[in-house]
Structure 1
Amino acid sequence: MSDTVPEPESVPEERADDPAAPAPLAVPRVPTGHAEVDARLDRLADADHLATDGHVEVYEDVHRGLRDALTALDARPGPPAPPTPYGHRS
């Protein structure tokens, strides 16, 4: 029987030495199937290794990218608008 207790594998080495060091939240992310959105969501993992004051920059970048992706979806040409009554367009 060994007297040594192994370190948990899920705890990064720098975290084992400093309990106040940033630790990954390990929040699961499910792929959306939209490459641009998935890339932005994957970017959230960058915040896992930053101190709390560094999270804002990552979150703002992800938010901006998701907003741009939604705007691009709105800008895609769709079917023509239905005609207005009496053939007039507004």
Structure 2
Amino acid sequence: MSDVMPEAAEMPGAGEPVHPGPVPSAAAVPAVPVPEPGHWGPEPLGVRRTPTGDARIDALLERLADADHLPAEGHPQVYEDVHRGLREALDALDAPPGPAPAPAGPTPSPPYDLRS
């Protein structure tokens, strides 16, 4: 047995016509639904959102429904907005309780009174 591929003419069935099988009748091919005129465009996906109990998070999740009414080009803006809000909510969980810390950096000196 050789490791070399046989020539196409040497392969079994070479030169015989290819028969794909019977052609389906038009009745056997399912019809593709065509929207009525004037109804082209985005359609809601109908994804249900379960409330989390956190008003901020629930508002962000409801914002996702805005993508249902936008063309695909508008989806990234909605997703980025929701993602940013969710990250801020998660970051807030890591923040220590109490007032926000003062910004780091040098403390400004009081102005000097040159009249003395």
Normalising by the smaller structure, the TM-score range is 0.5 to 0.7
**Measured at CA, do residues 49 and 76 of structure 1 come closer, stay the same or move farther in structure 2, by a change above 3 Å?**
same
Give TM-score scaled by structure 2 length: 0.50
CA distance in 1, matches of 2:78, 2:87: 14
% of aligned pairs identical?
Answer: 62
Q: Which has the higher helix share?
A: 1
CA distance in 2, matches of 1:31, 1:76: 26
Runs of 4+, deviation exceeding 6 Å: none
| Structure 2 gap ranges (5+) | 1-34, 98-116
Q: Which residue of 2 aligns with 1:52?
A: 72
**2:41 aligned with 1:21, yes or no?**
yes
- Structure showing greater radius of gyration is 2
Q: How many residues are treated as equivalent by the alignment?
A: 63
RMSD, matched Cα: 1.6
**2:58 aligned with 1:42, yes or no?**
no
SS in 2 for 1:64: helix
Deviation, 1:17, is 3.3
| Structure 1 gap ranges (5+) | 1-14, 78-90
